Every structure is written in C-alpha cells, then in structure tokens.
Structure 1
Amino acid sequence: MSALTILLIAILGHRFVDSSIVYQWHALDYEWPNSSAKQEFIKNGSFIIKNNHISGIKVYNESVYVTVPRSRKGVPSSLNVVVVKDGKAILRPFPSWAMQTVGDCSAIQYSQSLEIDPLTGWMWIIDTGLQRIADPGQYLCPPKLVIYDINKDKVIRVHHFPEAVAPKMRTFLNDIVVHKISGKPAFAYITDPGTTRLVVYDFRRDKSYTFAHRSMLAESGPSTIIDYDHTQFETHTPIDGIALSPDFRYLYYCSLASMKLFRVPTSVLAQENGDIGTSVKDLGSKVSQTGGMMAGSKSLFYGALGLNAVYKWDFTKDMANAASVDDVTMTTQTLVAKDDTNMKWVDSFAFDTNGYLWFTVNNLPSFLRNTMDFVNATAPFNMFIWKVYVDEKNYL
C-alpha cells in the first residue's frame, strides 16, 4: 500500500474512494517572526522540538487549522494554520504570535481541540489552561472558551469556566461540538476526561454547567488495552470522543478506555438540571477503542485505534431499519480507510466542503513513550494529515 495514495473499496458501495496523505512530518516547525527568533526560542527552552505534536484539526475555506497541545514545555504555539513555504509544510501561529504567549492568560495556553462553523467562520477554541506545564508556584491560567471570527479577525466572546465547572487543577477540556438552533449558536458540548464529566456551554445565557454519568467512566479489563505497533498500550482515560447528530437531536460520546458508544438527547442537556440518568442510551460496541470522532450528514466517523483505521457507523441506515428511534443500535459499521504503516493512532477529524473527511494521525503512544525519532530524515514519519473522500458534509 502506497504511503502517499491508496485506493480503497469503501463506503460508497462499489465505488473506489481515494485517500491520500496531505501533509507528513518527522518534526514540526513554525513560521517564525524573524530569522533569530527560532534560535532564541530554542535557547531559552520555549521551543523543544521533541515536545511538539499535532492533535486537533479543522478545515475552513481551504485552510487547515491544527492544535499542538502544550502537554510538555517547549511548545511555542498551541493553535496554528498549516502553510507551505519553500515546499515545506510549517505552522503559522493563529491568529497571531501574541495570542500564543505562554503565561498571558488572555492568550491561548493549551488548545487540544476546536470547532469551526463552516457557514459563519466562527472558531470555537477550548483552552484547558496552563496547569499541565506550570511549575509549582508559577502562574496558572484558568480554562476558557474563546469564540473567534476568522473572517472579521476578531474575538467574539471569551467565557471563563468557573471553578465548579472546570477546576483548574483537574480539568482537561478535550473535544468540542457546537449546537445551533434556527441557524444560530445555542450550545457547545465539551468532554472533560480530567473530571469525567460533560461540560455544557449555553451561548445565549453565557453560562456553563456539567453532567456526570456512569457511561462516561473508563471501563476495566480488555477495553483498557489498545493494540499499537506490535505492543499493548494501556489507558484508563474516561469520556473523550464526542459527536453531534446533523439534526442536533443527539449527542454521541465514548470513553477512550471503552468499546461502547453512548447517546443522550440534547433536549436533556439544554436543561441545567436535566435528568441525564434516565436518558442515556447504550448504542452498542465499536470495532475498536476511539479517541476522535465526528458526525457527517449520514454517518458517524471514528478512528479505530487498535486497527490503524477509520470506520463509520451508518446511523441513517440503522435508524431507518429500527422499530423506533429509541431502538436503534450501532449495527452497520464499515471500513473507510486503513493503513498499518501510516494510520497509527487516528486522532481528530474535520470536513471540507468538497465531500472529504480530513484527520490527523500522530502515533500518540510513541510520543508518550519518548520513542519518536525527530531527527533522522530516513526514519518513518511521525505525524500525518490525511483526507478521504466520503461524499458527506459537516454536521453543521
């Protein structure tokens, strides 16, 4: 199977679907403000090459936005847009270098994921704060949600999560989806594996609150072990992946340490004291554990971490075949793309407007184990951005 282009018989019946690697990196580099800035950042420890690792992705107007989580020191910019200079893909801090300043709590400190409304260009950035890299006694930046208008180049709103919602020494705001009502933003739903809760942000009231449920917990036993590159990677991460149905009626979520997929009606989440306990539905098991996932117009796409693949659940088909919407289970699961060499740990998803599904691959266990080779040009690439034609569009 080619490292650059593969042809797969996949989700469109008997049609061939093209999949390709758009970008690949041994190590990340940035568009620096001047010729001496990079060396200064390296010298003072603000840029440690081996600590820079892509995670989240979104696509808007043919621009590709990615996050580089500040899980370790030496990450100069946590939110970026990919640009190509002299034939090399590098990261341009977004919206500016100033907005990526470590220790400036008005800037973006630690962004794992984001969402972009394709109709308005509003970027919803979750910033889990700075506690993950702060030394004892140093500053702590509280977690926040930044809503930024890409087209007007301005901040629309900043919501600082109260301590009761996202305690700054425990929270880890991981992934986000946006719920619109009558074409206007109404809610954002955010997974928080740090507190094992779901965070709800009510845009109209500028207020946030949380829900907890046993379905958000990590499982024990075999579900905690993911087959990765001929080894076993153990995880106990709870609620992680999240997706929203295109009719905005249901929120889907899963724990990383689980095979299960769950669903809860958004009508329940719209009520701060809604009864989530009687509303959660177990939809069945995926083919593998999942980190990132995303709903399109007909299907839910997810990374099958133990299989080096992307799968989809055709919820449109299964809902049509179910006796009622309450009886639906995750029956129709189909392989979308697979590459045992270059799809090790599919992390995050995005749609463009041409029917392509984009996703990041980042070999996360190797990063966590410090076994990546960032220097040797003949070594395998460490990080990838793929796109696959699926003939669907963003749930928004």
Structure 2
Amino acid sequence: MRDFRSIKHVLVSALIITSGTAFAAGPMNAASHPPLMEVVAEWNRLPYDLGDAQAEQAYDSNQTYKKVLLQGVKVDSKGTMYVSTARWGGPDVPATLSKLVQKKGRWELQPFPNVAMNKVGDRQALQSVLGFEIDRNDVMWILDQGHIAGQPSTPGAEKLVLWNLKTNREIQRYEFNDADSDKKCSFLNDVVVDNDRGFAYITDSGIFCDHLHGGLIVYDQKTNRARRVLDQTVFTTDEADFHFRIDNEPVLGKTPMRTGADGIALSGDKRTLYWTNLSGHTLYSLDTALLRDFHTSESTLRTAVKRVATRPSNTDGMIADRQGNLYMTALEMNGLMFRDAKTGAISTYAIHPEMAWPDTLSWTPDGSLYAVSGHLNKWVDNAMDFDHPAVPNFRIWKIEANDRSYTAK
C-alpha cells in the first residue's frame, strides 16, 4: 500500500467567476499549507469476512467481487470504520453494510450488524444501503434504498433504520410509504441528521425510470413520520444538456448520466439544508424551519429555495463542519471543494489525480475527513479491471481538516 502521509498536494489555484460566485485558491491558509492526505485502505476487489470459509471461497471463485462497489464510509466515536456496498450488481452481494476489520494484515468487510441483517428478501433486513450517517450519540441512521440491481423494491424494503452502536441494537425504524418514495423510480441516496431537533433529511435521486423522479424527504424522529417535498422540481432534477468527464473521459458517453438530488449537507447550527443534483453544478439551500413544519405548503417551499452557487465541478458527497463550512466532492476535478460559511466563497480544497469519483465524506474523532474514491465511472461503463488496475479501484482517504462534525454540540 502506498503511503501518502508526507505528501502535500498542490491545490488548483485559478480564480473562477461563475454566476456571481468567486472560486478562490483554497480556504484560509490552504495556499501555504495544503491539507495532508493519506490512503488508509485500498483494494482492487473488496474482500469479505463472512465467518464461513465456503462462502468466502464461492465469493472469489464465482467472481462475485465484480458486482461489489465501495460507496460510503462513516466513522464512530472510537474510530471504527463502516462502509456501504449497495446491491447495484445483484442479490449475491454478500452484505450491503459492513464494518471494516483487520484480518491477515488487510482490511476486510464484515457484515454489519450481522449476516442475518443483510439477508436479501427479508423485510426486516437491509437490502441495499448507500447513504448512512453516525450521529454524535453513536446512533447509525441507515438509509435502505430497497432496490436490488435496479428492480422495483418490495414492501418494507425502503426504510430508515436507527441502530445504537453502543448497545448494538435497533432502536427505531421507518418504512417509506408510497407518498414518500416511488417503489419503481426512487433512488434513496443520502441522509443527514439533526440531533438537536430529532430530524433527518434525505435526498432521492429518482433514477430508475425514464423520467427523473427526484425529491427530498424530511423525517421527524419524535413522531416517526416523513414528508416528501420538492418532488420532480427543477431543484431536484438534472440540468439541461449536462455532461461530465472524469480523467478526460465522458461518463456514460453513449447515454449521458442523469441523476437528481444527491449530495446533502446540514449546517452546523442546523438551520440550513444544502443539496446538489449529481447531474448539475448548482448548490441549493432551504431554511430547515420551513422543512420541519409539515404544514408548510409546497409552493412556499419552492419559493424559498435559494440557488446558493454554481460550482466548478459537480458533486456526489458533501458534509458540513460545526462552523457551517461545506466540504464537497469534486468529480470533475478528482478531489474536494470547500465553501467558506462566512464569505460564501468556494475554493478547491484537496486534489489528487488518483482520487477518481470521490463519493461519501465522513468526520473522524480527531477532526479529519475520510473520503471514498471508487471509480464508479469505470464500473458503469463495464471497464473496471479487478486484477491489475493502474490505480487501486477502491480507496479510503484521510484528509486533514482540523474541525468537528456538523452533528457535534
């Protein structure tokens, strides 16, 4: 494994002016002190610790690893890493949520909370997890997409499960009804958590139909109910004629990728929700007080949406710190962007040519960021080499940030 501990990466420093938004050369002192970056885990193919030698052998011999992608990473208060592997490749993906464990000198994926809770077809179990969050109380908010390989979800499959990591038990769940999500079209993507008021906010990319069915979902933990908002609006769908490239190659060149509401972040004071559409450059926001009031009309919400900025790259994952600054993955730039909460200026933050398709971001207990890079562009084009890729297919990066999670008190 390569060691990036001593490498300081040069930031992209050009000043870009787009739609009235300035893009400067990094936050604070970034020009003189670029953030340190290191790879803490990497794989060409993802290995599982299933507690069953025959199952592990079958996983390798059947080349099931070609169906498994690393998407999300989150870290608990003890520094334990958890990862999501949504079952986009089919039902034989061994687990969709896992804890990383060291085995024979390498990191392996151990089904979490256990094998049974990852059983395909079991309404109580996790079917296809992409987005999840660990809050300040070490409660994991698990967002289950429900869809297996893009097929319509079965009853109870699309759900939000709250799992207490300290007691290792489920404490609450909510199954999304037909008003919350479309069981054919929805693509429940990511979730952020407001511990202060007991709310969560979810993006739905809506990719599984010919037309995008994007939207946001607001979840009230105290009443265990949800409400879908901004359904199939300009704020939750792709931008016209949007095409993007990674490593100078078009993503889905024959059929341009169309994805609605995706990246989502909650400000440190919990007053502002930010989100983006993957197929677009616009950063949107809404006052959470309006979203928390389920009596707020849809027309009022649409009028209140703010177009915060036009960014130099589209974004998949994003996250805020306690001060309200935003960190956003930059797919077209192979790295991260930063939005200063005080000035609104957006700058490049950490760029590396091998950080291909940076996805989820997570805060660590020491105030650093973890980021997944997973070469999704290669997988969707059926071009991923699982044996001898030029760069490891899946990586978890640690990036210097020196701050606290938005969930902190």
Q: Return the alpha-carbon distance in structure 2 between the equivalents of residues 219 and 130 of structure 1.
A: 25
Deviation at 1:230, TM superposition (A): 2.0
For this pair of structures, how many residues does the alignment match?
Answer: 370
Deviation at 1:37, TM superposition (A): 2.1
**Aligned pair partner of 2:379 in 367, 372, 392:** 367
CA contact (8 A) 1:115 1:125 kept: yes
Q: Return the alpha-carbon distance in structure 1 between the equivalents of residues 154 and 387 of structure 2.
A: 33
Amino acid at match of 2:138: G
Deviation at 1:101, TM superposition (A): 0.7
**Equivalence map 1:1-396=2 (5 Å):** 4-5=4-5, 6-8=7-9, 11-13=27-29, 14-41=32-59, 48-60=64-76, 61-73=78-90, 74-118=92-136, 120-132=137-149, 134=151, 141-181=156-196, 186-194=198-206, 195-212=213-230, 213-221=233-241, 224-233=242-251, 234-274=256-296, 275-298=300-323, 299-315=325-341, 317-318=342-343, 330=344, 332-340=345-353, 342-376=354-388, 379-396=390-407
Deviation at 1:90, TM superposition (A): 0.9
Unmatched 5+ stretches in structure 2: 11-25, 207-212
Q: Return the alpha-carbon distance in structure 2 between the equivalents of residues 121 and 50 of structure 1.
A: 32
SS in 1 for 2:198: strand
Q: Return the alpha-carbon distance in structure 2 between the equivalents of residues 131 and 70 of structure 1.
A: 5
Question: For residues 8 and 40 of structure 1, do their structure 2 counterparts lie closer, same or farther at Cα, with a shift above 3 Å needed?
Answer: closer
Deviations 1:10-42 (A, max 9, x none): 645133531101111100010021222223456
Deviation at 1:235, TM superposition (A): 2.1
Q: Return the alpha-carbon distance in structure 2 between the equivalents of residues 165 and 335 of structure 1.
A: 36
Amino acid at match of 1:333: I
CA contact (8 A) 1:180 1:248 kept: no
Amino acid at match of 1:68: T
Deviations 1:131-185 (A, max 9, x none): 5455x9x96653110000000010001111111111222221100001132xxx5
TM-score, structure 1 normalization:
0.89
SS in 1 for 2:280: coil
CA contact (8 A) 2:87 2:93 kept: yes
Deviations 1:198-247 (A, max 9, x none): 011111111011101422221012xx211212211232211111000000
Deviation at 1:375, TM superposition (A): 2.0
Amino acid at match of 1:81: K
Moved more, 2-11 or 269-278: 2-11
TM-score, structure 2 normalization:
0.86
CA contact (8 A) 1:131 1:141 kept: no
Q: Return the alpha-carbon distance in structure 2 between the equivalents of residues 99 and 258 of structure 1.
A: 36
Deviation at 1:49, TM superposition (A): 1.0
Deviation at 1:278, TM superposition (A): 1.8
Deviations 1:288-340 (A, max 9, x none): 1111100112310001111111110011x21xxxxxxxxxxx4x222221111
SS in 1 for 2:195: strand
Question: For residues 23 and 131 of structure 1, do their structure 2 counterparts lie closer, same or farther at Cα, with a shift above 3 Å needed?
Answer: closer
| RMSD between superposed Cα atoms in Å | 1.9
Q: Return the alpha-carbon distance in structure 2 between the equivalents of residues 359 and 157 of structure 1.
A: 28
Amino acid at match of 2:352: D
SS in 1 for 2:36: strand
Amino acid at match of 1:70: R
Question: For residues 240 and 348 of structure 1, do their structure 2 counterparts lie closer, same or farther at Cα, with a shift above 3 Å needed?
Answer: same
Q: Return the alpha-carbon distance in structure 2 between the equivalents of residues 386 and 338 of structure 1.
A: 12
SS in 1 for 2:377: helix
Amino acid at match of 1:367: W
